Structure formats: structure tokens, C-alpha cells
Amino acid sequence: MFDLEKSIVAWRKQMLAAGIQSPVPMEELEVHLREEISRAVEAGANPQAAFAIAAACIGSPDRLKIEFKKDVGIAGMIGAGPVERTNRLIGLLWLIYCLGSFYHTTSGLMSVFPHVQITPLFVFAWLMDFIYLRGVVASVLLFNGVMRERRYIFMLAILDALGGAGFLLSHAFQPLCFIFTVLGFVTIRLFWPWQKTKTATA
């Protein structure tokens, strides 16, 4: 009986054996493969036929290896395809946001030492500091093509969008807060639902 996931794993091994480097190009290729499979299934093909159609659309390992070697300079830096470019742009923007927020929160926490009082607000600030620090790591990894980090950035975007919207509704307008609140909503839109971009290495 045909097993789609096993066939995708075997396809990945063929690509890696041909010299397609991981993680970025391989992740990008698998996303395209799964999208083509979904389109073929929606058009009425069975999973086995859909996989064959998708693999043919992606191309042979040798041809792809040649194409990836052409991706140099600025084009190679920003990504070979739309998913990779989106991940790198979103990763860079969230890196800026998380670094700035981590610095701001940490500065506030350090200012109360040594006369610190353990209050709910103090504990919340430390929690947010950890969330932002983890966001820095997730942003860097996403920029480098680690697809599973989309989940964390997606969660961070929800927190940012809700918190930013609440702040803007209850305080005077602040352009920077507005920009990053918009970033939260845009990220939610781009990554929803994140399950669609799940890969074998996620």
C-alpha cells in the first residue's frame, strides 16, 4: 500500500544524495512538493499519482542542484522562493522587535535592583523577558530556514497583535507600537494555518 510520508522521506534522501544542501533549499523544496501534491489531490488524483505529478513538477535532483548553484549574490541571500523569502523577511523583522523588547524590558528590571519587590508585575516582566529572548533565537533560526520556528513566531505574533491592539485602544497613538502591532497581524495572516507548512523535519 502506498505511504505518502514514506515516499516523501525517500524523495528527500534522493535530493540530499544529489547534493541539495539542508536546511533552507531542502525545506523550500519540500514545501513546494507538498503544495503540488495538495493541488493534484484536490484535482482528483489519488495520493500515489499526486506524488508522482508533484515530483515531476519539482524536477530531477541533478537539475535542481544546478539551479541552486545559480542562486548567488543578493538573490541567493534573500531566498530562492516565496516561502524562503517570507521566512527571512519575517525572521529579520521579528529579530529587530525581540531584541528591542528584550533590551527595554531588561533595562526596566535592572533599574529596580537592589530594591526589588516580588510582585505580579515583576514576575510578568521576567516572563516577557524570557519570551523575547526565545523570540530572538526563533527569529534567527527562522531566517536560516528552520521551519518549525514558525510556530513560535506565530504564537508571538498573536501576543503582540492582541497586546498592541489593546494598548493602542487605551493609550495615545504611538507609531512604533502601531507598526509592530501591524507586523503581528501580518505574521498571523502569513503563517495561518502554520500546519500547511509542516515538513518532515519540523
pLDDT at 48 exceeding the cut of 70: yes
pLDDT tens digits along 86-129: 888 999 999 999 999 888 888 877 776 666 677 787 788 888 88
- Distance CA(61)–CA(106), nearest Å, equals 48
- State the cell numbers at 196: 500547511
Asked whether residue 137 carries a pLDDT value surpassing 60, the answer given is yes
Is it the case that residue 18 has pLDDT exceeding 90? no
**Residue 197: its pLDDT value, please?**
43
What is the 3-state secondary structure of the chain? CCCHHHHHHHHHHHHHHCCCCCCHHHHHHHHHHHHHHHHHHHCCCCHHHHHHHHHHHHCCHHHHHHHHHHCCHHHHHHCCCHHHHHHHHHHHHHHHHHHHHHHHHHHHHHHCCCCCCCCHHHHHHHHHHHHHHHHHHHHHHHHCCCCCHHHHHHHHHHHHHHHHHHHHHHCCCCHHHHHHHHHHHHHHHHHCCHHHHCCCCC
pTM above 0.85, yes or no: no
